[in-house]
Amino acid sequence: MKVKANSVQWLVAAVSAAVLAAAIPAAAHAQYQKPQADAEKAPQQESKKKKKKKGEEAAPASTAEYSPEFRKQATAVQKAVNDKQWADVLAALPALDALPDPTPDDLKAIATWRLQATQATDDRDGFMAAIEVYLEKHYATSEQIGPMHQQLAAYYNGKKDRERTVTHYQQFVDATPNAEPDELQTLGKLYLQNSKYAESALWLGKAIDVAKSRGAVPDEAWYQLRDRCFVELKDQTARLDNLEALVGYYPNKEYYSRIVAVYQVETRDERTVMLNAYRVAVADPQGGFATVGGYLGYADTALVAGSPGEAARGLERGMKEGVVPSVGTNQASLQEARSAVAADRKSLPAEAAAAAKNPKGEVAVKVGLGYYSIGDYQKTVEMVRLGIGKGGVARLDDANLLLGAALMELGRRDEAKAAFEAARTAAGANSHMARIAGLWLSRLGRPDPTSPAG
């Protein structure tokens, strides 16, 4: 079973043997032949040594050391290997195992023959046992270690032995310096299956980082699974980092809803933060909210903050999408917001004139919010910039976020980027307002499905 890339359910993939095992290549017999070549040559080399004249320097020979008992049987066994007479090889192994004082080279050759014979006869259990011995005794070359652990991981996964599966897959990854993102995320999923959430988050994160370093877009499911890990770990900071990165690549209602819900809890529903959080979600054509509570929260916050137009737009979008029921109190709230917008349209010109004369920039920024509310984004830009220029603005982070939002509506993306960067600087690192600026900047990094005129 695989995790669907577009799923928002927290499914843990049961990684199949087919997924885990790239398998040792078809030329695996050759891969395992090198260690026992010395065994084949040993008797011949010993004979050649005896023929050397006294005092004559011997030619370079194998450094392997075999016992006399082993040499007696080695030639016949090697011939059976060469002739692919695997039944004969297997039949000879018990006698070799019973050698009284085998040398390390004897044991390595025996292990190699067992590896070849069990593989060639499709004795999967025997082959895996032979691989484990080969690894345990450090007979494997550096090129063999990774694939061998990968095969063992696949084998134990098929047996539903999760602990050994993840152990061997970890060793496969450790032995593979240039592991692919898919291999790293598989390790992350295996740890998640074992409820090892910190390790899972670590390896899913590495898969994401490697994919990004190669210019690829990380898989949506990797972020989804990391979110589950951070929920289990109760690490809200890491969870927000992950969700904000996720919505940057895959914006949708569900992810924005989660982000805003975390902000709400962490800030205790602080109005300035929440208005900006709701705004960035609903202003995104690919965003919005997955629940009626998100849209109603936006409407209530915007009305209290003096931006009834935002309340109306949020409710209208929620109703159009079928998230907000278009009945009862919701309709009453929408009508209330629309009436307030109509009143603001009449009063704003006089308020703008007064703000221009007022030395306090905060007044002009508040009028700018009024213009944003009624959808006059050009006047929003003018008033907010006027206020920032005058000085005395209480929240430069809030003012610049409002300025950037209006510029986005006008399609002036370069100017908007500068405003969001200014907001992030004013907010300070790791603050919620800085995070919101980051969400806007992430949106700037991708094209909108619809481009506003102007």
Lowest mean pLDDT among 17-26, 182-191, 298-307: 17-26
* DSSP code at position 250: S
What integer pLDDT is reported at residue 446 of this predicted model? 85
453-to-112, 310, 410, 412 alpha-carbon distances in Å = 72, 20, 7, 10
CATH number of 251-438: 1.25.40.10
Q: Tell the residue number behind the tokens 């690829």, with chain if given.
A: 216
What integer pLDDT is reported at residue 12 of this predicted model? 22
152: enclosing H helix or E strand: helix 142-158
57 — pLDDT class (breaks 50, 70, 90): very low
Distance in Å from the first CA to the final CA of the chain? 48
What integer pLDDT is reported at residue 357 of this predicted model? 96
Residue 223 CA neighbour count, 13 Å, CB half:
25
Give the number of other Cβ atoms within 10 Å of residue 424's Cβ: 22
Residues 6+ apart with CB under 8 A from 22: 147, 150
Q: Do domains 178-250 and 251-438 have the same CATH topology?
A: yes
Give the number of other Cβ atoms within 10 Å of residue 117's Cβ: 26
User: What pLDDT digit, counting tens, does each position of 205-232 carry?
Assistant: 999 999 999 999 999 999 999 999 999 9
Residue-range domain boundaries for the chain: 26-35+69-140, 178-250, 251-438
50 — pLDDT class (breaks 50, 70, 90): very low
Residue 21 clears pLDDT 90, i.e. is over it: no
User: What pLDDT digit, counting tens, does each position of 265-304 carry?
Assistant: 999 999 999 999 999 999 999 999 999 999 999 999 999 9
pTM as predicted: 0.82
Residue 9 clears pLDDT 60, i.e. is over it: no
Give the number of other Cβ atoms within 10 Å of residue 289's Cβ: 26
64 — pLDDT class (breaks 50, 70, 90): confident
Number of residues in the chain:
454
d(CA 347, CA 342): 9
User: What pLDDT digit, counting tens, does each position of 303-329 carry?
Assistant: 999 999 999 999 999 999 999 999 999
- Rounded to whole angstroms, the maximal C-alpha distance in the chain is 117
The share of the chain scoring above pLDDT 90, in percent, equals 83
Residue 91 CA neighbour count, 13 Å, CB half:
6
Give the number of other Cβ atoms within 10 Å of residue 90's Cβ: 18
What integer pLDDT is reported at residue 447 of this predicted model? 75
What six digits make up the tokens of 217? 């877009």
344-to-249, 262, 278, 357 alpha-carbon distances in Å = 37, 32, 21, 20
Residue 346 clears pLDDT 60, i.e. is over it: yes
Comparison of pLDDT for 131 and 34, the residue scoring more: 131
| Contact by Cβ (8 Å): 389, 359 | no
Topology of 178-250 in CATH? 1.25.40
